[in-house]
Amino acid sequence: MPEPLSAPMVVAFPFTRSLGPVQSAFLTGLRERTVLGVRTHDDRVLVPPVEYDPRTAEEIRDLVEVDPTGTVTTWAWNPAPRRGQPLTHPFAWALVRLDGADTALLHALDAPGPDAVRTGLRVRVRWAERREGAITDIACFEPYEHPTAVRPARPHDGVFPDPVTGIIAPARLDYTYSPGRAQTRHLRALAAHRVLGERCPSCHKVCVPPRGACPTCGVATTEPAEVGPRGTVTTFCVVNIKAKNTGHAEGTAVDVPYVYAHIALDGADLALHGRIAGIPYDQVRMGLRVEPVWTDGGRYPDHYRPTGEPDADYDTYKGLL
C-alpha cells in the first residue's frame, strides 16, 4: 500500500484553574517569598499544603510558615531538560523536605553535576525574579551548605494583600497524526478530486469517509467504492457563531451565518458533513442537490454548492437522516 499520510499537530491550551483557600495562600506566599504549609490534626506539616488530609480526608486549614531551606530526600539527574521544565541546562529533579515540614516538595535543583548532589544535601529556594503566584515562583533549589538552626513551623494567618485566586497553566503537546490505511486512501483520492468510500463485506453499505471498519457490523472494510461527487442535503443547520479558523481555503474565516449540512453522496450509505455555499443561507433545504467545490490547489472540497438539479425526492434519502 502507499505510504500512509501523516501531519504535525499541536494541541495547546491555557487551563484556567481556581484555587481553594489553602492553595491560594501558598501560591500568594511564594509571590511574597514566604513558604506556607498546613498542619494536620495529628500534627504533621504538609508542604506543599493541601486542603484535605491525605490520610484521614479531614479538612485542614491550619496554615504555618516554614523555612526556605531544606534537605533533599531523593533526587534524579536530568541530563537533557525537556520543554517547559524549570531549567534549560542539566539539573537534578529533587524532592525537598523544607525545614519545619514533614513532607517533600518536588522541584528542580541547580547543581554543577550529579556528583554535587546526594540525598541529604542541604538546599535553599532560589526565587524567580518575576513572581506571580505560581509554583514556578520558586525558580529552583540550590545547594546551601550553611549551618543554621532549624526552626519549627510557626503559625501564619495566610493573609496577604491582593491574593492570587487562580492560575493559568499553559499546556502544549505535539503529535504526528496518522489517519491510517482507509483514511489515507480517502484523502489521496480527494486530492485528485475523487471521493472514495469503502463497502462493507457484510451489510454491503458504503461508508464515506471510510475508517477501515463498518461501524454497524464491526468488520474490516477493504473494498473501495467511488461515490458522488454529487449528493443530497439530508439535514442542515445555520451557524451564527464566528469561530477562529472556521475556514477551509488558506485559513480564511467564513462569514456568518453559514450552513453546515449532512450530505448523502450518490452511492454512499452514510452522510458526511460539509459547508454549503453559493446559495443564500435561508434557501438551503432538505433534498437540495449539491456538488463539492475544490478551490485552486485544494486537497479537499472547500464547500458544496447547488448543482441546479431538481430537489431529490424525500424517499430517496430518508434512510440516511
Partner 1 sequence: MDTTRDVAIVAFAQSDHRRSTAEVSEAEMLLPVLRDALDQAGLAPGEADFTCSGSSDYLAGRPFSFTMALDSVGAWPPIAESHVETDGAWALHEAWVKILTGDADTALVYAHGKSSAGEVRDVLSRQLDPYYAAPLWPDAVALAALQAQALIDAGETDEHALAAIADRNRTAAGGNPHAQLRAPVPAGDYVVRPLRTGDCPPVGDGAAAVVLAAGDTARRMCRRPAWIRGIDHRVEPHALGVRDLTDSPSTRLAAEHAGAFDAPLDLAEIHAPFTSQEVILRKVLRLGDDVPVCPSGGALAANPVMATGLIRLGEAAARIHRGEAHRALAHATSGPCLQHNLVAVLEGDRP
Binding site for partner 1 (CB under 8 A): 1, 4, 6, 9, 11, 15, 17, 19, 23, 27, 46-48, 50, 54, 73-79, 82-86, 93-95, 97, 103-108, 114, 119, 134-136, 167, 169, 171, 173-184, 211-220
CA 242 to chain centroid: 22
Q: Which span sits near Zn ion by CB under 5 A: 56-64, 94-102, 216-224, 259-267?
A: 216-224
Q: Which is nearer to Zn ion, 59 or 223 (CB)?
A: 223
Q: Which is nearer to Zn ion, 212 or 306 (CB)?
A: 212
Q: Does 123 bind Zn ion (CB under 5 A)?
A: no
Minimum distance, C-beta of residue 172 to partner 1, in the bound complex (Å): 9
Q: Does 217 bind Zn ion (CB under 5 A)?
A: yes
- Three-state SS across 59-109? ECCEEEEECCEEEEEEEEEECCCCCCCCCCCCEEEEEEEECCCCCCEEEEE
Q: Which does 200 bind (CB under 5 to 8 A by kind): Zn ion, partner 1, none?
A: Zn ion
Minimum distance, C-beta of residue 284 to Zn ion, in the bound complex (Å): 31
Within residues 251-310, the interface with Zn ion by CB under 5 A covers none
Contact 160, 29 (CB under 8 A): yes
Determine the Cα–Cα distance for residues 33 and 137; give it in Å rounded to an integer: 8
CA-based angle 144:149:153, to the nearest 5?
Answer: 100
Q: Is the dihedral of CA 266, 272, 276, 278 positive or negative?
A: negative
Measured distance between the N- and C-terminal CA atoms of the chain, rounded to whole angstroms: 34
Minimum distance, C-beta of residue 16 to partner 1, in the bound complex (Å): 11
Phi, psi (degrees; rounded to nearest 5) at 114: -60, -30
Residues forming contacts to Zn ion in the complex (CB under 5 A) are 200, 202-203, 214, 217
